[in-house]
Structure 1
Amino acid sequence: MSQGLNPIEKRAAFSLAGVYGLRMFGLFLIMPVLATYGQDLEGFSPLWVGIAIGAYGLTQALLQIPAGMASDRFGRKQVITLGLILFALGSVVAAVADSIYMVAVGRALQGGGAVASAVLALASDLTRDEQRPKVMAVIGSFIGVAFTLALVAGPILAQSLGLSGLFALTALLSIAALVVVHTLVPNAVQKAPSGDLVAVPQRLAALLKDPQLRRLDFSIMLLHLLITALFVALPLALLDAGLAADRHWTLYLPAMLLAFVSMIPIILYGVKRNTSRGPFLFAVALMGLACLVLALGIGSVWWLTVGVVLFFTGLNYLEAALPSLISRFSPPGDKGSAMGIYSTAQFGGAFLGGVLGGALFQAFGASTVFWLGFVAILFWFGYMWQMQNPRKTRSLTLEAPNADAAQANRLASSLSALPGVVEVILIPEQKAAYLKVEDSFDLEQARSLLTT
């Protein structure tokens, strides 16, 4: 059994991470500057800043499950392509906007490009179970890198490009992501023995009842609620503390670098102990401490910096860990639907965070936003206390014959019917079959099918 990523998995990991990263960089680029550089827009207020920051989350939340289902039925790449086109259209609308209201409309159109569930599902299709956590970690890490670069680049680019230029740049990034999808991302044929690959509403109810998936869905919702609420309040809190808008990057850059370094011991502990639960709870606790420091440190750039470092240490770990966990807990054949629910929760949280953050800041100030985060994380920590580690299965790589698409589908169906087979992923271009199996699996029976 291979211990590392094979060439197709490496290509899938980095190309899909590039697609996700380019798109998220464009979304994140606006977050640290809209509250400070958008003050000349008609209708500007902290509440509308929050709505504009989180507006993409509303349409993303509404469309993630339909997009996940569509990716199961019509293909991952087709859904990703349409989503990136809509994202570019929304970026153009926001670029020509002269009011905060039209910026919010543009952000909502950006959210119409709901490709997250399709990207994560395609990543799962292209990887063996034993290697999937690594691939998901690569994607999560690219999100973290995109976020870091956006926090630094946003304030710097806004000085010369303005908000309009940043949105135009975002449109160009979505076009670049389209090129990556159609030139670098591999194709896969995937079959699962239990359930239909086409998700239906009746199956969503069963996924929502799964306690482990429900905990992960709640986690990503609250995580993104906190992110958007923070970036309504934090830029304005930094201004009040005496740090000019064009100097915000001097806080974000070292803070994020320290956060990445601080995340490494958490990852190493989880790998050494073969556990997800302990590192997960520790990361949540770090974010709670961060919100407490931010709430108590209002008016001090130094204490706000400490809070940001703690917050993003936990955030970076969780952003990398959650996609891997949701993939490993998802029932075979339901990845598109499970990840659609997960992404719905993620972007719904982003919208709620923007609205709550903007409303609370406008009514009570930044400290109230940070206190809300602290209280929410206390509840989160308690809810996740009964979190479990995902079950273990074996993953095998077998040589498969060269086959066209129809033959590959028939072979994948035959393999998926064997006793003990949990999942089959067949990649014709690599002449390989990847099987996720339980102890009752008969290896010789599978080899017989592949050689006949």
Structure 2
Amino acid sequence: MLKKSAFPLLLLNMFLANLSMGLVIPIVPELLEMFSASGQAAGYLVACFGLTQFLFSPLAGNLSDRYGRKPMIIIGLILFGLSNLLAALASDLTLLFVSRLIGGVGSAALIPSIIAYIADITTADQRSKSMSWLGASMTSGFIIGPGVGGLLAEWGIKAPFYVSACVGLLAMLCSLWGLPESLSADIRRMRQQVKEKKENVFRQIVLSVRTRYFVLLLIVFAMTFGLTHFEAIFPLFVVQVYGFSTRQIAILLTVCSLIGTLNQLLLTDRITQRFGEKRIIGAMLLLSAVSLVLLLFSGHFYYVMAVTMLFFTFTNILRPTINTLLSKVAGDEQGFVAGMNNAYTSLGMIFGPMLAGILFEVQVNLPYLFGGFVLLVSSILSGSRLRKVLASS
């Protein structure tokens, strides 16, 4: 087994990648105004990232198994840097879309490879704690990103993109120099020689419909759909409807993400042990739906901050609870379930922002009303359906 000296660098890479994504959130309204683009374009910008992530994740995972984790991590970081550099240089909306598509490919190469790397260098009893640290690095990067992005935007609308590109380059150089390969040369040669035929992701999704845990995968989709409904339109919504500034958006998202993550760490285990995963999933879906609708009631800064903090708290508790229950019912299908979890998350990232952008152009409140409706229906359906899942597991 490799020394765990690689582990801090993996956490740093995940942190920097999510920091780079979070940096640009507060400047979305100004960016779209610069290109005379609509709210619909904002939704498509988020959706196209999810599209390439969805399409390339299976290929990237296969390449990671055959040729090693380190090459895919390096490629992912290079693509992240290139994506942000293109966005910084973009003089029209087309190049901005190209940059997002490249960013999705980078995410597909980077994130699964880091997760697989950690699985390679940890034992089964260490893995849960290691994955928790990895999740914390992802969340903390995204928390700090909007605040830093809002401050950098005062130096120019493109400054967050340039800094993001530099961060990606720095992470790539650190990994190139300090990250050993986790798979031995013998294992890589053996896997390259195996001509195993794997089902494509679309066929796997069809197969997942017949599984006993399909309802949990639908909840993963609904949760991501609702979350991206919120995130894709939030900067535009609070600027156009409530008149918030870039600095206010940065402060709001940073504070709310931080509190939401803290609440997740303090509350998730306690309430899950007391009430069980089934009740927590239903309750968090319902409360997430309510908080989306409550966002429409007032534009007072501290009211919006309180509602956003609650929404982040509910969704942050929901995600690990669903993952835990999926792991429990998966049995010997852990790999397939992990892949489907990622696939349904990516589908939510595609369709959630896309529809949110379209609805925003029809009426500014519709994205949050419809997102709340999807979460509400999911909460109602989860009650009886999850009971059957648990009974059969």
- Which TM-score tier does this pair reach, normalised by the shorter chain? 0.7 to 0.9
Structure 1 position 356, deviation (Å)? 1.1
The residue that corresponds to 1:144 in the other structure is 139
For 1:75 and 1:390, locate their aligned partners in 2 and report how far apart those are by CA, in whole Å.
40
The residue that corresponds to 1:110 in the other structure is 103
The residue that corresponds to 1:211 in the other structure is 212
For 2:283 and 2:211, locate their aligned partners in 1 and report how far apart those are by CA, in whole Å.
23
For 2:363 and 2:166, locate their aligned partners in 1 and report how far apart those are by CA, in whole Å.
38
The residue that corresponds to 1:260 in the other structure is 261
For residue 314 of structure 2, what is the amino acid of its counterpart? Answer: G
- Give the paired residue count: 376
For residue 257 of structure 2, what is the amino acid of its counterpart? Answer: M
Q: 1:165 aligns with which of 153, 159, 174?
A: 159
Structure 2 unpaired stretches of 5+: 189-193
Does 1:38 find its partner at 2:28? no
Does 1:84 find its partner at 2:77? yes
Give CA deviations for 1:27-55 in whole Å, capped at 9, x if unaligned: 222223212343112x4111112212332
Q: Within 5 A, what are the aligned runs for 1:365-444?
A: 365=364, 367-385=365-383, 386-387=385-386
Does 1:74 find its partner at 2:73? no
| Alpha-carbon contact 1:230-1:370 (below 8 Å) kept | yes
The residue that corresponds to 1:200 in the other structure is 198
Structure in which a larger fraction of residues adopt helix: 2
| Alpha-carbon contact 2:230-2:292 (below 8 Å) kept | no
Q: 2:87 aligns with which of 83, 91, 94?
A: 94
| Alpha-carbon contact 2:327-2:334 (below 8 Å) kept | no
For 2:96 and 2:222, locate their aligned partners in 1 and report how far apart those are by CA, in whole Å.
24
The residue that corresponds to 2:191 in the other structure is none
TM-score after normalising by structure 1: 0.72
Flag the 1:198–1:156 CA change in 2: closer, same or farther, 3 A.
farther
Structure in which a larger fraction of residues adopt strand: 1
For 1:218 and 1:80, locate their aligned partners in 2 and report how far apart those are by CA, in whole Å.
30
Q: 1:25 aligns with which of 14, 19, 23?
A: 19
TM-score after normalising by structure 2: 0.82
For 2:352 and 2:20, locate their aligned partners in 1 and report how far apart those are by CA, in whole Å.
19
For 2:261 and 2:10, locate their aligned partners in 1 and report how far apart those are by CA, in whole Å.
21
For residue 299 of structure 1, what is the amino acid of its counterpart? Answer: G
The residue that corresponds to 2:116 in the other structure is 121
For 2:215 and 2:114, locate their aligned partners in 1 and report how far apart those are by CA, in whole Å.
22
For 1:281 and 1:17, locate their aligned partners in 2 and report how far apart those are by CA, in whole Å.
32
Is the deviation greater in 133-142 or in 257-266? 257-266
For 2:347 and 2:9, locate their aligned partners in 1 and report how far apart those are by CA, in whole Å.
26
For 1:315 and 1:188, locate their aligned partners in 2 and report how far apart those are by CA, in whole Å.
35
| Alpha-carbon contact 2:26-2:247 (below 8 Å) kept | no
Is the deviation greater in 91-100 or in 69-78? 69-78
The residue that corresponds to 1:432 in the other structure is none
Give CA deviations for 1:396-441 in whole Å, capped at 9, x if unaligned: xxxxxxxxxxxxxxxxxxxxxxxxxxxxxxxxxxxxxxxxxxxxxx
Give CA deviations for 1:296-353 in whole Å, capped at 9, x if unaligned: x243333322220111112333455566666666676973x65443323223322222
For 1:185 and 1:271, locate their aligned partners in 2 and report how far apart those are by CA, in whole Å.
38
Q: Within 5 A, what are the aligned runs for 1:333-348?
A: 335=335, 338-348=337-347
For residue 221 of structure 2, what is the amino acid of its counterpart? Answer: M
For 2:338 and 2:171, locate their aligned partners in 1 and report how far apart those are by CA, in whole Å.
21
For residue 362 of structure 2, what is the amino acid of its counterpart? Answer: A
For 2:220 and 2:322, locate their aligned partners in 1 and report how far apart those are by CA, in whole Å.
7
Structure 1 unpaired stretches of 5+: 1-5, 393-452
The residue that corresponds to 1:312 in the other structure is 312
For 2:127 and 2:223, locate their aligned partners in 1 and report how far apart those are by CA, in whole Å.
22
CA RMSD in angstroms comes to 3.4
Flag the 1:253–1:13 CA change in 2: closer, same or farther, 3 A.
same
The residue that corresponds to 1:353 in the other structure is 352
Structure 1 position 285, deviation (Å)? 3.3
The residue that corresponds to 1:55 in the other structure is 48
| Alpha-carbon contact 2:52-2:104 (below 8 Å) kept | yes
For 2:312 and 2:216, locate their aligned partners in 1 and report how far apart those are by CA, in whole Å.
19
The residue that corresponds to 1:403 in the other structure is none
The residue that corresponds to 1:283 in the other structure is 284
Structure 1 position 158, deviation (Å)? 1.5
| Alpha-carbon contact 2:264-2:316 (below 8 Å) kept | yes
For 2:211 and 2:300, locate their aligned partners in 1 and report how far apart those are by CA, in whole Å.
44
Flag the 1:211–1:161 CA change in 2: closer, same or farther, 3 A.
farther
The percentage of counterpart residues that share the same residue type is 22
For 1:177 and 1:327, locate their aligned partners in 2 and report how far apart those are by CA, in whole Å.
32
Structure 1 position 135, deviation (Å)? 1.8
The residue that corresponds to 2:225 in the other structure is 225
Flag the 1:117–1:219 CA change in 2: closer, same or farther, 3 A.
farther
Structure 1 position 186, deviation (Å)? 6.4
Report which of the two structures shows the higher radius of gyration computed on alpha carbons: 1
For 2:363 and 2:69, locate their aligned partners in 1 and report how far apart those are by CA, in whole Å.
44
For 1:321 and 1:185, locate their aligned partners in 2 and report how far apart those are by CA, in whole Å.
33
For 2:329 and 2:87, locate their aligned partners in 1 and report how far apart those are by CA, in whole Å.
38
For 1:293 and 1:147, locate their aligned partners in 2 and report how far apart those are by CA, in whole Å.
24
For 1:198 and 1:334, locate their aligned partners in 2 and report how far apart those are by CA, in whole Å.
19
For 2:7 and 2:276, locate their aligned partners in 1 and report how far apart those are by CA, in whole Å.
23
Structure 1 position 85, deviation (Å)? 2.2
The residue that corresponds to 1:293 in the other structure is 294
Give CA deviations for 1:246-305 in whole Å, capped at 9, x if unaligned: 32233233323332333234223157559544444443333222112113x243333322
